[in-house]
Amino acid sequence: MSNPKSHTYAYLGPVGTFTEAALKKITCDLDVLVPYANVTGALNAVRSGAADYALVPIENSVEGVVARTLDELATGDPLTIATEVTLPVTFAFMTLPATKEVHRIGTHPHAESQCRAYIAENYPHAEIVPTNSTSAAAESVSKGELDAAIASSAAAAHFGLEIRQDNIGDNTGAVTRFICAQKPGWISEPTGNDRTSMAIFIDIDHAGALLEILQVFAKHEVNLTFIQSRPTGRELGHYHFIIDVEGHIKDVSVGKSVEELHELCDDIRFLGSYPREVRI
């Protein structure tokens, strides 16, 4: 019997992020987990061959999309999605044990937007300092660079911080979806509960452009689960759409939809067909 093969996973770090917690749902003890300072760094590790996979956040049920992830997938060197992971997200307010006054609070902008009521009620005059991740904020507090952080309880434990208040989010049911990116070439077999992601580029924005795309999916009875427009960066009026649909590229309905869209659109970047994670 052969030994299981280990893989290297890049992820949005440092240690103690929600991304790391999500990553541990799909890795084993043999795998190597390497934190990166931002989404681009983690994805570039796969592009350069330094990592086999990269796990990064793409969507939060409260705050919405992670624009940097969408843009990297659509316009950076090609990557595809191997799988997705979802994670319930809860936030804690933490400081060094000896801290008496809080003037500067660090956290990721997505976390700050989900804890506004708590901040407004308890620290209305504090400066909110954006960081690359919630765990990076906790690390800065441990170094004395910030007075407090909003991060995960795991980050507090890792950096030796004291949790002043747990579960401070405005919405107790927040969930973040993460995608595991890989180099193109491998596609999982259909499972019957799959998601297909793609970036669709139109030649130039015009009346009815999005409707034309939606009509193709409707014609083939393909259900959309996610759609987001993003500027291409070329000039005003040039946009692309990130679209997720139910089904696998090998499903007849999805395959025919994509084939028809190729005739309608300037370009389509296939971002992967992969199993949808069932939330329990």
User: Is the Cβ–Cβ distance between 130 and 107 less than 8 Å?
Assistant: yes
Percent of the chain surpassing pLDDT 90: 75
Pick the CATH number of 93-159 from 3.40.50.300, 3.40.50.720, 3.40.190.10, 3.30.70.2740: 3.40.190.10
Calpha distance 153→163 (Å, rounded): 7
Instruction: Indicate the DSSP class of residue 260.
Output: H
Q: What is the mean pLDDT of the chain?
A: 91
Residue with tokens 């917690």: 21
% helix, strand, coil for the chain, step of 5: 25, 30, 40
Domain boundaries, the chain: 8-89+174-182, 93-159, 194-275
Q: What is the pLDDT of residue 39?
A: 94
Whether residue 280 is predicted with pLDDT greater than 50 in this model: the reply is no
When pLDDT is cut at 50, 70 and 90, the band that residue 266 belongs to is confident
Q: Per the structure block, which two tokens stand in for 273?
A: 């067909």
Alpha helix positions (H), the chain: 18-23, 39-48, 67-75, 109-113, 116-122, 134-142, 153-158, 209-219, 252-264
CATH homologous superfamily of 8-89+174-182 equals Periplasmic binding protein-like II (3.40.190.10)
Evaluate if residue 264 carries a pLDDT over 60. Answer: yes
pLDDT for position 1: 35
**pLDDT value of residue 110:** 86
Give yes or no on whether 8-89+174-182 and 93-159 have one common fold. Answer: yes
The per-residue pLDDT for range 77-96, each reduced to its tens digit, is 999 999 999 999 899 999 99
- pLDDT per residue as tens digits for the range 128-162: 999 988 999 999 999 999 999 999 998 999 999 99
Per residue in 28-58, pLDDT (tens digit) is 999 999 999 899 999 999 999 999 999 999 9
Predicted local distance difference test score (pLDDT) of residue 234:
65
pLDDT exceeds cutoff 90 at 190? yes
Among the listed residues 56, 78, 79, 60, the one whose alpha carbon sits nearest the alpha carbon of residue 68:
56
Write down the pLDDT at residue 171.
Answer: 83
What values do phi and psi take at 216, rounded to 5?
A: -65, -45
pLDDT in tens, 153-166: 989 999 999 999 99
pTM for the predicted model, two decimal places: 0.84
For residues 197-214, one letter each, b for 16 or more C-beta atoms within 10 angstroms of the residue's C-beta and e for the rest, the string is bbbbbbeeeeeebbeebb
Phi, psi dihedrals of residue 47, rounded to the nearest 5°? -60, -35
pLDDT digits (tens, 9 = 90+) for 56-69: 999 988 778 888 99
The fold of 194-275 is: Alpha-Beta Plaits (3.30.70)
